[in-house]
Amino acid sequence: MNRWLFFWRRFRRQLWVRASAYAGLGVAASLLAVFLAPWVPKDMAERLGGPSVESILTILASSLLSVATFSVGAMVTAYTSVSSAASPRVAALVTSDGETQKSLATFVGVFLYAIVSVTAINAHYYGQGGRAILFLFSLAVVVLVAFRLLAWINRLSSLARVGHMIDLVEAQARQALDQRRDTPWLGGRRGRLETGVDVTAVSTGYVQNVDPDRLQGVAEQHDCQVEVVAAPGAFVRRGEVLARVDLPRCDEAAQGDFRSAFAVGDSRSYDQDPRFGLIVLGEIAAKALSPGVNDPGTAIQVVGAGVRLLEGWATHARPDAPRCDRLLAPSIQEADLLDDVFGPIARFGSGDVAVAMRLRKGLLSLSTLDALATPARAMADEALERARAALPIPADVARVAAIGRQDPRSA
């Protein structure tokens, strides 16, 4: 992903950004009314420019502050609930949720609009025409608040639900998997450089994004090839290798050019790291299978999500021609994808016959796909061995073992 696009997306997901933008629009709308006053017909100004607009604004100002405070409290409660019920890695999706941000930002923006407008009215900033424009603006704002309030109530009904969190993580993982499938090896070629100069990290953290076009451009500038050693999701310490270039030497300026294509942060990101979404799904299932929660249904739901994601990964055609011919990058191993999402379920759910059966069915159904045949069959056999060791009743073991002797795609 382009590095500037990555930084813009990360910046845009912060709650205060949208809230500040809506607040600025609210203040601008309040002050704009005076400039539109000359175009208001006299009859309309006399009819709408009365004291009623101040009453509407006073109601908005007094009620929206309470609504905004309540909404923030509800979001914090949902954030805490999701962190404890699902996974702390999912909680970030609550604050970055588009509908949640739009609702909170609308309440804050309308509150500031009402406060500024009432203050301006008391300061005699508007004439009769400006008050008429403000009245029309206020009617539109009331409709907007009503719509956002209904949308927010609807969002609250599912915001802290574990099933909704699974859907959000699945959507994030599918987007990253589709992107990597369409640009395998980050848009370059598979391979490694036997010799070359190492480009090292200047900070410790996870590689969140790699800009292949930036690497391609710098490689063309220096007439060399570049290998991505630390792909998105890799953890690197300061001084460890990010990339390798086949140059006899690489000065600090060139190192900085290549290094600028890598974004290193404190945590992993869903955007360009397809394995992270699968790992989070596995964490949700592991939490659900813990003795304190004991929710095998959630683990079974995660199995379904994992099957859908990996089926899409394995069945869609991939482009042949690399977009960045000077870029070499590692490939994703299908066995790792399977272990990321199904590994925790196999380890912690082997003692539950329903979970063990559903997991084996899912793995055997994936084993019918050419790209996943060998690792899926191996994991299905491993899951059966775990079930034999964990299930105390032979009849339950027989039910799990019987899955391989029937159509794995059946119920």
Question: Does the pLDDT at position 381 exceed 70?
Answer: yes
Q: Of 373 and 48, which is predicted with more confidence?
A: 373
Q: What was the pLDDT predicted at 318? A: 65
Q: Name the β-bridge partners of 190.
A: 329
How far is it, in rounded angstroms, from Cα 375 to Cα 335?
A: 5
Where does residue 306 rank: exposed (0-12), middle (13-18), buried (19+ CB within 10 A)? buried
- The domain spans of the chain are 3-160, 274-319+331-405
Do 190 and 328 form a contact (C-beta atoms < 8 A)?
Answer: yes
**Reading across the β-sheet that carries 205-210, which strands appear in turn?**
235-236, 205-210, 262-265
Look up residue 396 and give its two tokens.
Answer: 């339950």
User: In angstroms, what CA-CA distances link 75 with 11, 61, 235, 243, 324?
Assistant: 20, 21, 31, 41, 43
Q: What was the pLDDT predicted at 54? A: 80
Q: Tell me the pLDDT tens digit for each residue of 301-314.
A: 999 999 999 998 88
Q: Tell me the pLDDT tens digit for each residue of 101-148.
A: 888 888 888 888 888 888 888 877 777 777 888 888 888 888 998 898
Q: What was the pLDDT predicted at 131? A: 81
How far is it, in rounded angstroms, from Cα 144 to Cα 137?
A: 10
How far is it, in rounded angstroms, from Cα 211 to Cα 226?
A: 12
How far is it, in rounded angstroms, from Cα 301 to Cα 285?
A: 8
Q: Tell me the pLDDT tens digit for each residue of 183-204.
A: 888 888 888 888 888 888 999 9
Question: Does the pLDDT at position 384 exceed 80?
Answer: yes
Of residues 11, 114, 127, the one with CA closest to residue 64 = 114
Q: What was the pLDDT predicted at 181? A: 86
How much of the chain exceeds pLDDT 70, in percent?
95
Q: Of 288 and 76, which is predicted with more confidence?
A: 288
How far is it, in rounded angstroms, from Cα 338 to Cα 386?
A: 16
Q: Tell me the pLDDT tens digit for each residue of 231-273.
A: 999 999 998 999 999 887 777 888 888 898 999 988 888 888 8
Sign, Cα dihedral of 230, 10, 169, 77:
positive
Q: Of 340 and 97, which is predicted with more confidence?
A: 340
Question: Does the pLDDT at position 321 exceed 80?
Answer: no
What is the chain's mean pLDDT, rounded?
85
Q: What was the pLDDT predicted at 343? A: 92
How far is it, in rounded angstroms, from Cα 277 to Cα 236?
A: 20
CB neighbours (10 Å) of residue 79?
A: 19
411 pLDDT band, cuts 50/70/90, is very low
Amino acid at site 19: A
Which of 28-42, 62-76, 247-261 shows the lowest per-residue confidence on average (mean pLDDT)? 28-42
What is the model's pTM?
Answer: 0.82
Q: What was the pLDDT predicted at 279? A: 93
36 pLDDT band, cuts 50/70/90, is confident
Amino acid at site 5: L
Q: Tell me the pLDDT tens digit for each residue of 54-63.
A: 888 888 888 8
